[in-house]
Amino acid sequence: SAVISQKPSRDICQRGTSLTIQCQVDSQVTMMFWYRQQPGQSLTLIATANQGSEATYESGFVIDKFPISRPNLTFSTLTVSNMSPEDSSIYLCSVESSLSYEQYFGPGTRLTVT
């Protein structure tokens, strides 16, 4: 298994500002994923971040709004840019086991935009 930490655990931000969420894994992983869970909705994949290459974004998500960095095999950041109240959500990073399909999730970052 992998142990994943996220910072911050929660934040309240004003409209129009940006927040960068950090994700740290205790082991080297190739693929890291960023998800969003809005109230009452399912977990939604935002993008996949591979070390050394640009992130791959899912439909409906763009790099200008959610820039991602992946400087090494244990760390990634997701920035939520020019925030609006609709961005209020829990953001989770996750990694996939190298041996199976199992995914391990961080504790999440609860973002509230006012």
Partner 1 sequence: DQQVKQNSPSLSVQEGRISILNCDYTNSMFDYFLWYKKYPAEGPTFLISISSIKDKNEDGRFTVFLNKSAKHLSLHIVPSQPGDSAVYFCAAQGENNNDMRFGAGTRLTVKP
The residues of the shown chain that bind partner 1, judged by CB under 8 A, are 4, 31, 33, 35, 40-45, 48, 56, 58, 92, 94, 96, 100-108
We find the least distance from the C-beta atom of residue 19 to partner 1, in angstroms, to be 18
State the Rg of the chain over Cα.
Answer: 13
Separation CA 98–CA 102 (nearest Å): 9
We find the least distance from the C-beta atom of residue 112 to partner 1, in angstroms, to be 15
Question: 75 or 104: whose CB is closer to partner 1?
Answer: 104
Taking a C-beta distance cutoff of 8 angstroms, is the pair 87, 39 a contact?
A: no
Separation CA 111–CA 40 (nearest Å): 15
Question: 14 or 101: whose CB is closer to partner 1?
Answer: 101
